[in-house]
Amino acid sequence: MRNRLIGTVDKISAVVVLRRYNAYVDFGPETSQRLGLAAVLLLSGLGLLAGIGTSSGPLGYWGYSVTAARYLASRDLPKKSRLPRLPRGIFLALLFALVPFLKGWCSVFLQRHVYFIFVYAFCGISAAAWLLIALFLQSASEKDISPVWLKHWYWANVAGFLLLMAIVGSSLATLSASSGG
């Protein structure tokens, strides 16, 4: 009990020290914007990898290959419903990249690019809705065929995500070039 209490006090004191440090340290507006945009790109990349890489069972190791189908057929396991990895990765990337925006690390960027907020929100809602509809359609039918409109929506989500990351990347490159670094 005493060790747990000491560990909790240590964690609280570390948080207090970090908050006081952050209150007194000022990197300057350009540097903090650069760090915030880099954090957006880094976290969205991590989210994309987490969404693409997370899986369970033998399909996670082999993908949708002949080997996986043979393995599942030989095991007489019921086929699990699985959503495509890329839309799941896009959703997680948008979710992870939300942290720097909510923390206020990119406030100047968001003030200069107000349209980015709307495109970001629309892309996130669209990706979440696509995942829900794909899940419902997948569980409703035994066939692995998706409607044409769902495929077009899939590629629209991919294009929207790439557009968002291109805006962040070009803003980061512009900030880096203007500061001479």
Is residue 89 domain-resident? yes
Q: Does pLDDT of 23 surpass 90? A: no
Q: Does pLDDT of 59 surpass 50? A: no
Average pLDDT over residues 47-61: 67
The 8 Å CB, 24+ separation contacts for 146-155 are: 153/126, 154/84, 154/86, 154/87, 154/130
Is residue 163 domain-resident? yes
Distance, CA of 123 to CA of 116 (rounded, Å): 10
Is residue 1 domain-resident? no
- Domain with 154, as residue range(s), is 32-54+81-178
Residue 9 pLDDT: 45
Q: CA angle 113-108-39, nearest 5°?
A: 90
Is residue 61 domain-resident? no
Distance, CA of 87 to CA of 131 (rounded, Å): 7
Residue 21 pLDDT: 46
Residue 163 pLDDT: 93
Confidence band (pLDDT; 50, 70, 90) for 83?
A: confident
Four-residue CA torsion sign, 18, 23, 24, 26: positive
The residue written with tokens 């650069």 in the block is: 34
The residue written with tokens 């803003």 in the block is: 171
Q: Which helix (H) or strand (E) holds 162?
A: helix 148-178
54: tokens are: 């997370």
Q: Does pLDDT of 158 surpass 50? A: yes
Average pLDDT over residues 83-105: 89
Is residue 13 domain-resident? no
Phi, psi of 111 (to 5 degrees): -70, -35
Is residue 68 domain-resident? no
Is residue 40 domain-resident? yes
Q: Tally the domains of the chain.
A: 1
Confidence band (pLDDT; 50, 70, 90) for 13?
A: low
Please tell me the pTM assigned to this model: 0.67
Confidence band (pLDDT; 50, 70, 90) for 1?
A: low
Average pLDDT over residues 50-74: 58
Confidence band (pLDDT; 50, 70, 90) for 90?
A: very high
